[in-house]
Amino acid sequence: MTFLGMPLMRSKHAHTDLPGGQGNIVETEPFPEVSHQHLSNQQLRTNIGHATSSIRDKRAGVVAELDDWEELREAGSRAKNQVMANLPEYLVEFEENFTAAGGTIHWARDADEANAIVTELVEANAPVLANGRREVIKVKSMATQEIGLNEHLETQGIDAFETDLAELIVQLGEDKPSHILVPAIHRNRDEIRDIFMDKMPDAGKLTNDPAVLAEAARRHLRHKFLTTKVAVSGANFGIADTGTLGVVESEGNGRMCLTLPETLITVMGIEKLLPSFDDLGAFLQLLPRSSTGERMNPYTSFWTGRTEGDGPQNVHLVLLDNGRTRALADEHGRTALNCIRCSACMNVCPVYERTGGHAYGSTYPGPIGAILSPLLTGVEDEANGSLPYASSLCGACYDVCPVKINIPEILVHLRSEDVKANHSPVSTQLDTALTGASWMMGDGKRMAAAEKGLPFAHKATRGGQINALPGIARAWTSSRDIPGLPEKSFHQLWAESEGQAESEGRTDHDGETENGGDEK
């Protein structure tokens, strides 16, 4: 396939019947359907509300410590925009440097190619165990979740063990991640204790103390770290001028996976590149403050190819397109690829806080998921087409984004694309309603005439809340109430107020004149 005119995708697993770079993200039901189910889950809303508010407060505190926070955001945005404007050249530069350092690069157009590549590498390097299956350990990776790698490996006789604590909770609970940074944010400590006691044979009796639960996870994973020959990771950064990969994490499990196994396979989206090592100065301040509310990540690991006698000796990187070239071709939406997966937008989003991540039906939930998923796979699919509407357009996500992605602007753009692509009846009704409103509000006399009906509407509704409306408005009132209609419009109240003020002014003026005469 060609990447913006350049022959970059050279995988021997190519599928000639697939469009180049077409996204392939595992999805569930559309957002409008699933969100209604989750809105009624009080425990879910409590768990997520408590967690996101805690992270918000921590982030605000550490961001306030920096006088140059906005300058850092600008530097991060500038570096990512530079990458997107010159991505083919940076990919070639990165490949040359990564290969020169002893690593091997594989290009994957989509999820099928990436999964096939990883499977082949695991089969070549991981021994078959007594149970007839192979094993790999994994560092938390959004890219591998995006392509459904764990599920694919399972069908090929390969068991993938998550080593990130939250990912382990999700895996043992036979669940799905609901947050980019904290995949198990929808679980409380009692639920986690029950999962561990049910699914960990060596867990024994546990309390809900976080330290006790973390120690149980360490004991469970320690043997895997020491015996598994192959690890799979994602990457936060790829440095073009050195061929270096980087992972930032909070627990140390990532470093175990990156150093102990004999074979390391990394899956990274092609947009994760930075031009040079110098650019990391801004990102290593932006990312931890925006994600965990920390001044720096506890564990930051970089590796460049392979080193004889030190760490993994078989180092592979799968560079994943999976719709990213499609997103890059959208001049209005391509800045979504600047995302560094900090999750700050999710922690301030009122919609996410009430529905949770599962409602979004894709790997990337929250505001960034509402734009990234449709950009990667298109708005033609019903689930993707509905995601850009999962927002109040309050703008909080843009305010906290460390690389200044204008998410509200892209949401509006994608809503327009959805209307063009799907031409749904809802859009037709909305167009009719907005056209009528524009006609009425475009003329003062027409607006005044419409306001004369307000007293009748107030009387008809008895001044109470409106719980149900017909047509397209039914979707609005299905989850919210409209405040009661007033008896008088703002214009009427203003006119009455002005008239009263004028009358009072005349009275005061007359009084002043008389007083003045007396004084003289």
Q: Kindly tell me if the per-residue pLDDT of 7 is higher than 60.
A: no
pLDDT tens digit sequence for 426-442:
556 767 877 888 898 89
Q: Kindly tell me if the per-residue pLDDT of 507 is higher than 80.
A: no
What pLDDT score was predicted for residue 69? 97
Is the domain of 363 the same as that of 320?
Answer: no
The burial class, CB within 10 Å (0-12 / 13-18 / 19+), for 257 is: buried
What is the Cα–Cα distance from 437 to 292, expressed in whole angstroms? 45
pLDDT tens digit sequence for 110-130:
999 999 999 999 999 999 999
Is the domain of 374 the same as that of 386?
Answer: yes
Is the domain of 350 the same as that of 466?
Answer: no
Number of domains in the chain: 3
Domain membership of residue 197 (yes or no) is: no
What pLDDT score was predicted for residue 380? 79
Last residue of a domain, one of 329, 364, 393: 329
pLDDT tens digit sequence for 474-488:
777 776 778 888 888
Name residue 513's beta-bridge partners.
none
For residue 105, what pLDDT band results from cuts at 50, 70 and 90?
Answer: very high
What pLDDT score was predicted for residue 401? 98
Q: Kindly tell me if the per-residue pLDDT of 20 is higher than 70.
A: no
Is the domain of 416 the same as that of 453?
Answer: no
Mean pLDDT to the nearest integer, 60-69 = 96
pTM more than 0.85: no
Helix axes 87-100, 69-85, angle to 10 degrees: 90
Is the domain of 347 the same as that of 320?
Answer: no
Domain membership of residue 221 (yes or no) is: no
What pLDDT score was predicted for residue 1? 32
For residue 47, what pLDDT band results from cuts at 50, 70 and 90?
Answer: confident
Last residue of a domain, one of 329, 359, 377: 329
Residue from 332, 334, 405 nearest 367 by CA: 405
What is the Cα–Cα distance from 326 to 376, expressed in whole angstroms? 6
* Top-confidence residue, 417 or 421: 417
Q: Kindly tell me if the per-residue pLDDT of 6 is higher than 50.
A: no
Is the domain of 415 the same as that of 436?
Answer: no
Q: Kindly tell me if the per-residue pLDDT of 206 is higher than 60.
A: yes
What pLDDT score was predicted for residue 509? 54
What is the Cα–Cα distance from 293 to 207, expressed in whole angstroms? 27
How high does pLDDT run on average in the chain? Answer: 87
| 260, two tokens | 């102990």
Domain membership of residue 213 (yes or no) is: no
Is the domain of 318 the same as that of 349?
Answer: no
Domain that holds residue 466: 426-477
Domain membership of residue 316 (yes or no) is: yes
Mean pLDDT to the nearest integer, 87-92 = 97
* Top-confidence residue, 421 or 511: 421
Domain membership of residue 76 (yes or no) is: no
Q: Kindly tell me if the per-residue pLDDT of 3 is higher than 50.
A: no
Is the domain of 234 the same as that of 303?
Answer: yes
What pLDDT score was predicted for residue 155? 97
Q: Kindly tell me if the per-residue pLDDT of 150 is higher than 70.
A: yes
Q: Kindly tell me if the per-residue pLDDT of 281 is higher than 50.
A: yes
What pLDDT score was predicted for residue 387? 92
Is the domain of 239 the same as that of 311?
Answer: yes
What is the Cα–Cα distance from 238 to 103, expressed in whole angstroms? 13
Q: Kindly tell me if the per-residue pLDDT of 510 is higher than 60.
A: no
Q: Report the 10 Å Cβ neighbour count for 18.
A: 14
Domain membership of residue 109 (yes or no) is: yes
What pLDDT score was predicted for residue 229? 97
For residue 264, what pLDDT band results from cuts at 50, 70 and 90?
Answer: very high
Helix axes 425-441, 444-451, angle to 10 degrees: 100
Q: Kindly tell me if the per-residue pLDDT of 508 is higher than 80.
A: no
Is the domain of 255 the same as that of 151?
Answer: yes
Mean pLDDT to the nearest integer, 447-472 = 80
Is the domain of 442 the same as that of 410?
Answer: no
What pLDDT score was predicted for residue 424? 56
What pLDDT score was predicted for residue 13? 38
Ranges of H-type helices in 273-395 = 280-291, 324-328, 344-348, 350-355, 366-377, 382-386
What is the Cα–Cα distance from 164 to 179, expressed in whole angstroms? 14
Domain membership of residue 48 (yes or no) is: no
What pLDDT score was predicted for residue 347? 95
Containing 44, the helix (H) or strand (E) segment is helix 42-64
Last residue of a domain, one of 423, 443, 458: 423
Domain membership of residue 491 (yes or no) is: no
CATH label of the domain that carries residue 99: 3.40.50.10420
What pLDDT score was predicted for residue 14? 35
Is the domain of 351 the same as that of 314?
Answer: no
**CA geometry: angle at 485 spanning 479 and 487, to 5°?**
175
Q: Kindly tell me if the per-residue pLDDT of 42 is higher than 60.
A: yes
Do 134 and 125 contact (CB within 8 A), yes or no?
A: no
